[in-house]
Amino acid sequence: MKYYKITPKILIWSILLIGFILRVVFCFFLNLPHLHTDTYMYFYQSNALLRGEYINYAPNGYPIVIATLSHFIKASLLDDTLLWINIIVGTLTIGLLYKIGSLIFKKPKIALIASLLLALYPNQLNYTRWILTEIPCTFFLVAGYYLYIKNNNFLSGIVVGIASLFRTPVIIVGILISGYNFFIHRKVSLKLLGGLSIPLICIGSYCFLCTGKFAITGNETVNVVYAIASYTKATNGEIDWNAPKRHPEIKNSSQAWKAYLTHACKYPLEFVKTRLNSFWELWGFYPSSLGGTRTVASRLLIGVCNLFLFVGCLWCLWKNYKKKWIYLFLIPICSLSSIYILLVSMARYTVPMEPFMIILTSWSIADLTDLYPHRNRKLSV
């Protein structure tokens, strides 16, 4: 009888197949909804782009994708096409995480654990079936990291910049990667910063041509207003969607930030309480019911997954706090979390951060199960 050795290559292709099939099932075979409130806003903005106009509200990266696809496919096929894009880029993200793990740790075991966790992770599967920005943004952010680790700084900057067109706070991740690069190599990477700026300049310039104002996104004001509303109306971390109506006096971002800082200074204890509520909504072990749309089971599942990643990341940090590579992975986790906690938080905002938490947790799993001889090893990056 002939026996075949199960190689890492066979394992990763098997994991990719599993991840792909599960994502297809979530999108097309569970009779789950695909359209979110934000989805309609993206279609509204894409229609403006098709008319040669520009709506400076939500980030226009996803509306650009929708508008581009509208030139090539029928409107009746657009939703399914966007879901297939989610499935494909979500599966590619699994492969990219494997590549990143292999490059950093030089052995495939941690990389295989990370790719398997990402393939099976409930939040990643769930948001694949939503026509939202989370899955494409995650793909471009992870791809940007892969290119950076491969020392392709210019292309890495461009790809992270594209990710920020889907979710604007990702800009800070690109800037901090540049800071990390300066700390490691003692020089500014103009290629990285130049690449990062290209997508932002392009979208900002088009906004200027259409509106007379150079801007990347226009919803900063309303997001700050949502954060202010938590001072004046207890929401336990949930967003008060009527906040803009209750604060008509706030008309621009400078007024919004002034009101935000005024409330923070005037009511410091309330500020801390509401920011803790925001943290709990983002990473808590039993988040809100989201206006009654979440069941107890789903809230518990989110909590268990968050706890799992938190413990895994803390163990990895404790064991590797002297290693430079761990701080590269902590950049998106800490920076994006801080922004959302200071403003408004939703459970889906964790999706772009999860691959980086997963790879740290995979190191911890390997360490605790003796799969990886981490001691006295020199790691790259």
Is 94:74 a contact under the CB 8 Å cutoff? no
Indicate the pTM of the whole model: 0.92
C-alpha 333/C-alpha 84 separation (Å) is 27
Query: Where would I find the H helices in the chain?
Result: 8-28, 37-50, 61-70, 78-105, 108-120, 122-128, 134-149, 153-166, 170-185, 190-211, 220-232, 243-246, 253-266, 268-283, 296-320, 324-342, 354-368
C-alpha 29/C-alpha 26 separation (Å) is 6
> In the numeric block, which tokens belong to residue 140?
């471009």
Q: What is the pLDDT of residue 378?
A: 46
Query: pLDDT tens-digit profile of 245-281?
Result: 777 888 888 888 998 899 889 888 888 888 888 899 8
- The closest of 191, 192, 141 to 164, measured between CA atoms, is 141
Of 65-69, 96-100, 377-381, the range with the lowest mean pLDDT is: 377-381
Using the predicted structure, report yes or no on whether residue 88 has a pLDDT greater than 70: yes
C-alpha 245/C-alpha 348 separation (Å) is 25
pLDDT band at 377 (very low <50, low <70, confident <90, very high): very low
Using the predicted structure, report yes or no on whether residue 237 has a pLDDT greater than 90: no
* Residue the block writes with tokens 């190191």: 363
Q: What is the pLDDT of residue 236?
A: 52
Q: What is the DSSP string of 25-87?
A: HHHHTS------HHHHHHHHHHHHHHTT----SS-SHHHHHHHHHHTTS-GGGHHHHHHHHHH
C-alpha 327/C-alpha 336 separation (Å) is 14
> In the numeric block, which tokens belong to residue 155?
């292309």
Of 32-36, 58-62, 292-296, the range with the lowest mean pLDDT is: 292-296
Residues recorded for the chain = 381
Query: pLDDT tens-digit profile of 300-335?
Result: 999 999 999 999 999 999 999 999 999 999 999 999
Q: What is the mean pLDDT of residues 200-220?
A: 87
Alpha carbon 159 to its chain's center: 14
Which DSSP letter does residue 367 get?
H
Residue 86 makes CB contacts below 8 A (sequence gap 6+) with 23, 27, 128, 129, 130, 131, 135, 136
Is 111:101 a contact under the CB 8 Å cutoff? yes
Q: How high does pLDDT run on average in the chain?
A: 90
3-class SS of residue 378: coil
Q: What is the pLDDT of residue 110?
A: 94
Q: What is the pLDDT of residue 190?
A: 93
